[in-house]
A and B are shown apart, each in its own frame.
Chain A
Amino acid sequence: MSTKKFRPDVDAPVYKGGYSPYDIIKEGTIAIVVVGILVVLLAVVFGSPDEPAITIKKWSNAAPIDFATTALSELNGTSISASYGAPYNHNGPGQQLGPLALARWVGVRIPINSADDFVIDPLQSQPNNPALKSSLTAWETASASTRTTWVANYTKVAGHMTFTNGNVVVPAANAGPVPVMINDLTHMARTGALDTALLSGNGFYTTDYTKPLLFIADGSYLGDLAQKQHMLGNQWGMMNETGSYPGQPWLWLYTFWYQVPPMNSSSNGDIEVFAIMILLTLVLFFLPLIPGLRAIPRKVRLYRVIWREHYRDA
């Protein structure tokens, strides 16, 4: 035994008291049985949520204008995906923490070209449609500035967009092939063909839903459904799940930071929240080594309640 000065927040006292019988195997077995019964009861009484995934087919049939507007935003570069930045493309600055632009430094690792990936390439997979083929040829042979003009002209009248007799209708505009492309992509989506087309880029087998998820998330439909389920970011969304289920309450602190300024309105909110959580995690990890913090339990004296029998018998 050392003769060094006793440090109450670092050292443990010599225990000179008694010992009690302890059947670790019996205790473990009983615990598994009791927890097992509790889990079965909870599963029987409450079950678990399983709200079906939405498809692009479902989205475009339920909200064709939202779908068509989103498709347009992929073409004109205003969608979230189109202007995201790393890791998808170079079209946005990405988030920064002071001088640290971590995402940009890592670079584009999951390349997404919104116009090609979500609009042009799927349309090119459509067979037996001469009008569409002609429109796509016009698009591909046009100069970049002509394309920009067409899309800009369509965007100007898109506010008057209607969905009439199964077609996306906008007032006449000098928009070249864009009206046909948007209308045909909406038709394609409403049949379910776009769901398949966005996956087929990875071959016959795929488990990667990056493209369809980015496309769906660019629209308002997914967010509208999430809002009804109280899952938006400002509704503590990350820790919630559909229905009246507890979700991931252990993420409460992470979600909390999104509710308070400046993170709740910052364009760098995600990296700021991550930085706070990494810092707090490091504090938790190194807590035994941090003077002051490691003294809290000794000063709070809640241990007197936890070990009340020990102190009563002492």
Chain B
Amino acid sequence: MSTTEIERQWTTRLRHRAAGKLPPEKLLPDTQPSYVSSWIYVFGVATLSSLILVIVTGCLLALRGPSWWHGSFIGHFVNSLHLWSVEVFFFAMVVHLWGKFFMGAWRGGRTATWMTGVVTFLASLLTAFTGYVSQSNFDSQWISTQAKDGINATGGGAYFNVLNMGQMLMWHIVLLPLAAIVLTALHVILVRVKGVVPPYDDDATAVTTPEGATK
């Protein structure tokens, strides 16, 4: 096999493209521009950290099934961990979102980063909602019977039946977490590829490439 033939392989091309877009020093940087020292950056990291805790505690709940936490002290505690991980996750994510808005974080070719962040937020909302309606207690009874009217009004209730606990549980533990995780990974990769947006500069006159923000 010739070198040219190897270079034409899909695998080789993908590797070159990936390595070009996201070399190791960008994926795992050991330096950052000095402006990346604000408290606001804490909330992006806190969002990721609490997402990891949400996933871990959700997996622990899954080990013993959906009824375990109702009758077990340990199960109930794990549920409490899951709940508060979610609360911290959303708090951090909302502050992160507002922070990025006031930083104009879409500048410099970062529109896709912003958009994946918004979609991740939506996927997270839906994941949390399906958790509330599948926890099989009074909360899920009330929230599902109220929420059905909104979803039914759009026509979506015909296929996304919030009164069907089994369907909601599967969306909550399989489909939506998968979407949220993939979207989060894509969002983080875009942050690493494009770099952290530089501060506004009133005197700027030249258009720069996104790579200008990173080393």
Which chain A positions have C-beta within 8 A of B80? 42-44, 46-48
Which chain A residues numbered 271 to 299 have a C-beta less than 8 Å away from chain B? 271, 273-274, 281, 284-289, 294, 296-298
A282's closest neighbor in chain B, by CB?
Answer: B118
Which chain A positions have C-beta within 8 A of B197? 12
B5 interfacial by beta-carbon distance below 8 Å: no
Which chain B residues numbered 141 to 199 have a C-beta less than 8 Å away from chain A? 141-147, 149-150, 152-155, 157-159, 161, 163-167, 169, 197-199
Q: 1/0 per residue B39-65: CB within 8 Å of A?
A: 010100110111011000000000000
Q: 1/0 per residue A25-65: CB within 8 Å of B?
A: 10110011011101110111011111111100000000000
A53 lies within 8 A of B35 (CB):
no
**B interface with A by C-beta (< 8 Å):** 28-38, 40, 42, 45-46, 48-50, 52-53, 69-70, 76-77, 79-85, 87-88, 90, 94, 99, 101-104, 106-111, 114-115, 118-119, 122, 125, 128-129, 132, 135-147, 149-150, 152-155, 157-159, 161, 163-167, 169, 197-202, 204-210, 212-213, 215
A106 lies within 8 A of B107 (CB):
no
A288 lies within 8 A of B139 (CB):
no
Which chain A residues numbered 89 to 121 have a C-beta less than 8 Å away from chain B? 94-95, 102-103, 105-107, 109-110
A27 lies within 8 A of B45 (CB):
yes
- A107 and B195 alpha carbons, distance in the complex (Å): 48
Count of interface residues, chain A, beta-carbon cutoff 8 Å? 109
- A134 and B75 alpha carbons, distance in the complex (Å): 49
B213 lies within 8 A of A15 (CB):
yes
21 intermolecular pairs with C-beta atoms under 8 Å apart: A11-B207, A15-B198, A15-B213, A17-B35, A21-B30, A35-B88, A38-B84, A47-B77, A50-B76, A50-B135, A94-B152, A94-B153, A103-B154, A106-B158, A207-B166, A210-B164, A238-B143, A245-B83, A300-B102, A303-B104, A310-B38
Query: In the complex, how many angstroms separate the beta carbon of A188 from the nearest chain B beta carbon?
Result: 21
Query: In the complex, how many angstroms separate the beta carbon of B72 from the nearest chain A beta carbon?
Result: 11
Q: A10-B107, A288-B114 given as contacts; is B158 within 8 A of A109 (CB)?
A: yes
B204 lies within 8 A of A48 (CB):
no
- A226 and B144 alpha carbons, distance in the complex (Å): 12
Of B106, B115, B200, the most chain A CB neighbours within 10 A belong to: B200
Which chain A residues numbered 1 to 31 have a C-beta less than 8 Å away from chain B? 1-15, 17-25, 27-28, 31
Out of B76, B111, B115, B141, which one reaches A54, CB within 8 Å? B141
Which chain A positions have C-beta within 8 A of B215? 19
Which chain B positions have C-beta within 8 A of A86? 152, 155, 158
Which chain A positions have C-beta within 8 A of B48? 28, 31
B118 lies within 8 A of A207 (CB):
no
Out of A7, A21, A306, which one reaches B38, CB within 8 Å? A306
Of B94, B141, B159, B166, the most chain A CB neighbours within 10 A belong to: B141
B35 lies within 8 A of A270 (CB):
no
Query: In the complex, how many angstroms separate the beta carbon of B192 from the nearest chain A beta carbon?
Result: 9
- A303 and B99 alpha carbons, distance in the complex (Å): 9
Query: In the complex, how many angstroms separate the beta carbon of B153 from the nearest chain A beta carbon?
Result: 4
Query: In the complex, how many angstroms separate the beta carbon of B97 from the nearest chain A beta carbon?
Result: 9
Which chain A positions have C-beta within 8 A of B161? 110, 208, 210
A241's closest neighbor in chain B, by CB?
Answer: B139
A12 lies within 8 A of B213 (CB):
yes
Out of B46, B109, B149, B159, which one reaches A270, CB within 8 Å? B149
- A47 and B84 alpha carbons, distance in the complex (Å): 9
Which chain B positions have C-beta within 8 A of A52? 70, 137-138
Q: A22-B31, A31-B45, A284-B118 given as contacts; is B137 within 8 A of A51 (CB)?
A: yes
Q: A10-B107, A294-B104 given as contacts; is B50 within 8 A of A35 (CB)?
A: yes
A242 interfacial by beta-carbon distance below 8 Å: yes
A217 lies within 8 A of B145 (CB):
yes
Which chain B positions have C-beta within 8 A of A27? 45
- A17 and B125 alpha carbons, distance in the complex (Å): 38
A25 lies within 8 A of B37 (CB):
no
- A11 and B30 alpha carbons, distance in the complex (Å): 26
Query: In the complex, how many angstroms separate the beta carbon of A65 from the nearest chain B beta carbon?
Result: 21
B30 lies within 8 A of A214 (CB):
no
Out of B106, B139, B154, B198, which one reaches A294, CB within 8 Å? B106
Q: A52-B137, A241-B132 given as contacts; is B30 within 8 A of A23 (CB)?
A: yes
Q: A10-B107, A11-B208, A309-B38 given as contacts; is B76 within 8 A of A48 (CB)?
A: yes
Q: A43-B84, A251-B125 given as contacts; is B153 within 8 A of A207 (CB)?
A: no
B145 lies within 8 A of A222 (CB):
yes
A1 lies within 8 A of B132 (CB):
no
